[in-house]
Structure 1
Amino acid sequence: MGNTSKKLAAKCTLLTKDEQKYLATTFRSASKNSDKIREEDLIVSGKVDAVLLERFWGPQIDPRLAQYLSNFLFGSGAEKAPSCDFNRFAELYVYNVRGTTDERMMVTYNSLGKDYNDSVELPYQLLREYCESIASTFIKVLKSSSSKRAQVWITKGFRGRASHVQALGEAVAASVNGDADVAINQCTATQLSKWLQFNTLLLQMTEVVFVNLYGIESKPDEGPAPVAMPSLLPMPDGLDAMPDYPAFIDLSHIVWLNSHLPQQHQHKWRFLFSSHIHGESFSTMVGRILDQGASLIIIEDNSGYIFGGYAPASWSLGPNFTGTDDSFLFTVAPKMRVYPATTYNNHYQYINHHAKTLPNGLLMGGQFNFGGIFVNADPFGEGTCAESCTTYKGYKRLSKEPTYRIRSLEVWGVGDKPLIHKDSDERDLSVLDTNPEAKAILDMAGRTRHSEGIREPPPL
C-alpha cells in the first residue's frame, strides 16, 4: 500500500484498522493515487443513464444503484461536485454497513437526490426502485460468488431471474407501509425511520453489497479481512444427489423466505419431498416429512402462483392441530408476502389420513374445510385456499382460484434435523423404527404395531 492511501485512511476515524487498509487500497486505485475520486474515475464517460462502471463495481452493480451512489458521492443537479474525497467515500460504506438510523436515513435521502430533513417526503416509486437496485446487486453478488452453497443452488436451477429479483425489491419496499398491499405515493421521514430500524433483510442485503463493492475481502498477502454478514442463503442439504432436479422457485424466493425464518433455522434447508421426484402420493409425502422438525411447504398451482407455509413443529399424524405462533403463510409469486400468526387460534398445522369423520390431508390455518392452505390426501394433487383466514394476519387468498390443481409441491426441513430421544438403547429397535415411511403408512391405515406392546421394559 502506498503512502498516499495510508495518509488518506488515517484521516478517517469512522473506519477500523482493517477497513482503513481495504478502503484505502480501493480508493487509491480508483483515484489513480490522488486524494480525490472524480466521477469519471468510477463511471465510464459519466453516463449515468446506462451506467457502465469500471474495475471495482462494473460486473456486480445494478446501473440504477450506480446512479444512486454517484448522487451520494458527488451530489446531484446544480450541487454536483466534480470529485469526492476519501472521507465521503468512506462514509458511503460505513453508513450503509453499520450506520445509525439517522445516518442510514441521510445516506438514503442523499442517494435518491434529496436533502435529509424531517419535512421531506420521498416518492414511494423512487424508494421501490432503490430497493430493487439493492436486491439486484445482491443477487449479482451471490451469482458471482465462489461459495459452495451459492453454486449448489445455482447449478440446480435456482437462477435469480430478473422478474423475481424485482419482486424481492418490491416486497422490501412495500413493508414501509403498515399494509404492504395498500398503495402509497409518498413516504414520510417517520415511516422511513421505522422501516430502516426493523427491516433486517434490507440491512443484511445492503451490508453484503457494500462489503463486496468496497473490496473488503481476504487477500493472501494482506491477512484476514472483516467477516461479512451471512449471504442469507441456507446450505442446501440433499440436492447433490438429484441430477435432474426440477427447480420451480427462484434464488430470490429462497432469500426472502429464509429471512423470515427463526434465526436457528436459517443456516440449512434439508430437501425432503418433491412431487416431481417422489411422485404424486400423499402417503409417500407423509412418510418423508414426519418427525423432521420445522419445515417449509411450497406449492405451485396451475396458474403459476407459488405459495406455502412455515410449520415450526414436526408433522405428526393425528386429529389435532399442532405447531406454535412462529408459524406463517406466504406467497412468493406473483408477489412476495408473509402472513404471520395472529394468535386468534392455534390452528397452525394439521395432517391426517384415513380418518372417517375428519378431513384427510394437510392443512395450515383456518378451520376444517376452510383452511388457509389445504392439500387433499385423496385424490392427491387438489387443494383449496380460503378467502379469509383468522389464524394469520393480513391473509389474502394465496392461490389464483379458491380450488386449485397442484403443479409442483415441495417440502424442505429447515435447520438441523431434531434428535429423537430414546429411553432405551440401540438394541431395542423395531424394523419400523428404522423405516419411518412404513410406520407412517401403518399409522394412516389405522393398523396396530404389535411390537410396540411387547418390548422389554427399560432397565432400572
Structure 2
Amino acid sequence: MGNTDSVIVQKRLSHFRPDERPVIEGVFDRLLGAAPATSEKTGKVLSLGTLKVTMGEMASESMINRVFQGIHSIDPGVPLPSGGGVCREQLVIFLADILRGTAEERAPLVLAMAGGEKAAAATAEQIRGFVEDLVSSTVQTLAHRGHLRGWQPDRMGDGPQGIKVLAEQLTSEIKSSDQNACDVPCLEDWCFRIPTMAVFLELLIGEGLGVGLPSNPPPTLLPQCQCVPWRDLRCLLNLPLLMFLSPQLPAGHSAPWRLLFSTNIHGESFTRLVGNCKGRGPTVLLMKDTKGHIFGGFASQSWEVKPQFQGDSRCFLFSVFPFMRVFTYTGYNNHYMYLNQGQQTMPNGLGMGGQHGYFGLWLDCDFGHGHSRARPSCTTYGSPQLSGDEDFKLDALEVWGVGQPPEEQDQDENKRSILDADPEAQAMIEMTGKTLHSQGLREPEEND
C-alpha cells in the first residue's frame, strides 16, 4: 500500500483503528487511478486536476482550490516531489487532521485554505470567504449524496442568502487581533469553540474524497422532514438555517419536523393557527415581516390557550435575517410563551418573552400585525428588536412541529405494562405475595 516511515504520518495514523488505516492510506492510490494525466500517475503525485475530477459535483471550484492548498501546505517530514503536486504522506496527514484531528491540528489547515499556503495570518474577510465556500459546498454535498432527509431546496427559502448569513454568524465568533488578523492561535481557539466547522469539513472531505470508515458515518446535519405538501408550499426555511437551528434545539428533539401551519397554505387566520398548533408538542415558529426580516422562536411545550404564561427555560428566540443569532433564557422572568384568544381583559394573541405590550415577539389576534419591543433588549431572552419596525406587518408565518406529537407519546405509554407505568402497582402486587407472571415473558425496557 506504499506505507511510509514518516514519523508524522505514523503519529497521524494512530488516530484511526487498525482496520481503518489501510482505508486512509488507500485513498491516494484510488484517487491516482482517477487522475486525468498520465504523467501524474507515473510521478506518484496528485494534482489539482485530480481533486476537481473527484470533488467537482460536491464542491465549488474555489473550495476545491482551497482543499488543494490545505493539502499542499503540509510538511510531511519526507522529501517532497517536484512539479507542484501532493504526495501520499501529505494526503494521509490532511485526512487524519480533518477527520480525527484536534483544533490544534486543524487550525493551520484552515489558515492555509483561507489565506494561502505560506500565510502567517488571514484577514477576517478571507476567513469569511472560506466559510462561505465551505457552507456552500456542504449544502451541495448534502444534495449530491442524498442526505436531504425529506427536504426539497427548490421549494424552500433563499439558499444563497442563508449561506452568507450563516457564514457571517460563524465568523462573528472569531476573536481576531486589533489588526483584524487571524493567526494560528486565533483559529485554534475558534475551531475549539465552534465544533460546527469541524463537522462541515468532515462531511465535505469524507464524502468528497470517498473516505468510507465504518466507525465514522457521515454526520447528520439536517433534521428529518415528513408529511409536507411540497407542491403547494414555498417555505421560509432554507438548508443553512436548518443546519444552524437544529443543533440549538434541546436534547431529545430529534423527531421529524412536520408542518403544522403556513400562511402559504392555510391563509391568514389566527383561529386556524391556534387550531393547528394547540396541543401539538414543541414547535418552531418562523415569521417574515414586510421589511424582509425573518425571525422566530422555539416553544419547548405544547401551545395552550390560557391567560397565563407557559413554557420553560428551554424556549428561545432567534433571528434568521438580516443576521442569524439565537437568544436564550436570561433568568429575569418566566414569560416564555403566551397564547390567548377571545378574552376581554387580557391581550389576545401569541407572544414570547418580555411582558404584555412589550413582547420580544408578538403576533396580534388580528393576525396581520405584531411587534418586537425590546429596548434595550427582551427581558426574558435578551434579544434585540427582531423585526424591521418595532410594530411590524406580517408577510408570512410558519409553525413546525419538532418534537414527538403528544398522541404518539400517549400511544407509547399505553403500550407499556402497568408494572412499568406504575411502580407503586408493582410494589402492591409483590406485597400481597402474588407472582408477577409477565416479568419472565418479556424483554426489559432499555431505559430501565
Normalising by structure 2, report the TM-score.
Answer: 0.78
State the match for 1:400 in structure 2: 388
> Structure 2 matches for 1:236-247, cutoff 5 A?
236-239=225-228, 241-247=229-235
SS in 2 for 1:372: strand
State the match for 2:187 in structure 1: 192
State the match for 1:299 in structure 2: 287
State the match for 2:252 in structure 1: 264
Q: Which amino acid aligns with 1:29?
A: R
* Equivalent pairs, count: 394
Q: Which amino acid aligns with 2:373?
A: A
- Choose the corresponding residue for 2:151, options 139, 150, 153: 153
> Do structure 1's residue 86 and structure 2's residue 74 form an aligned pair?
no
- Counterpart Cα distance in 2 of 1:374 and 1:103: 46
> Structure 2 matches for 1:6-405, cutoff 5 A?
12-17=13-18, 19-32=20-33, 36-42=44-50, 53-54=52-53, 56-75=54-73, 82-113=84-115, 121-147=121-147, 149-150=148-149, 152-154=150-152, 157-158=155-156, 161-177=159-175, 185-187=180-182, 191-217=186-212, 225-239=214-228, 241-377=229-365, 379-388=366-375, 389-391=377-379, 395-405=383-393
Q: Which amino acid aligns with 2:187?
A: L
From the superposition, tell whether residues 339 and 187 of structure 1 become closer, same or farther in structure 2 (CA, over 3 Å).
farther
SS in 2 for 1:83: coil
Gaps of 5+ in 2: 34-40, 75-79, 416-448
From the superposition, tell whether residues 155 and 342 of structure 1 become closer, same or farther in structure 2 (CA, over 3 Å).
closer
- Counterpart Cα distance in 1 of 2:204 and 2:86: 21
How far is the alpha carbon of 1:91 from its aligned partner?
Answer: 1.9
How far is the alpha carbon of 1:238 from its aligned partner?
Answer: 1.9
State the match for 2:425 in structure 1: none
How far is the alpha carbon of 1:382 from its aligned partner?
Answer: 1.0
Q: Which amino acid aligns with 1:126?
A: Q
- Counterpart Cα distance in 1 of 2:202 and 2:227: 29
Q: Deviations over 1:151-200 (max 9, x none)?
A: x312661377323222222211112259xxxx982346555333322323
- Counterpart Cα distance in 2 of 1:14 and 1:88: 16
Q: Is the 8 A contact 1:30 1:37 kept in 2?
A: no
Q: Is the 8 A contact 1:35 1:85 kept in 2?
A: no
Gaps of 5+ in 1: 44-52, 218-223, 427-460
Q: Is the 8 A contact 2:287 2:396 kept in 1?
A: yes
How far is the alpha carbon of 1:299 from its aligned partner?
Answer: 0.5
From the superposition, tell whether residues 339 and 268 of structure 1 become closer, same or farther in structure 2 (CA, over 3 Å).
same
- Counterpart Cα distance in 1 of 2:380 and 2:22: 49
How far is the alpha carbon of 1:368 from its aligned partner?
Answer: 0.8
SS in 1 for 2:286: strand
How far is the alpha carbon of 1:393 from its aligned partner?
Answer: 5.4
Q: Which amino acid aligns with 2:221?
A: L
Q: Is the 8 A contact 1:299 1:406 kept in 2?
A: yes
Q: Deviations over 1:186-242 (max 9, x none)?
A: 34655533332232322222221121022024xxxxxx8444243311111221x45
How far is the alpha carbon of 1:367 from its aligned partner?
Answer: 1.3
Which stretch shifts more, 193-202 or 280-289?
193-202
Q: Is the 8 A contact 2:174 2:186 kept in 1?
A: yes
- Counterpart Cα distance in 2 of 1:228 and 1:365: 39
Cα RMSD of the aligned pairs, angstroms, is: 3.3
How far is the alpha carbon of 1:408 from its aligned partner?
Answer: 1.0
- Counterpart Cα distance in 1 of 2:317 and 2:166: 17
- Counterpart Cα distance in 2 of 1:373 and 1:259: 22
- Counterpart Cα distance in 2 of 1:168 and 1:385: 23
- Counterpart Cα distance in 1 of 2:188 and 2:315: 28
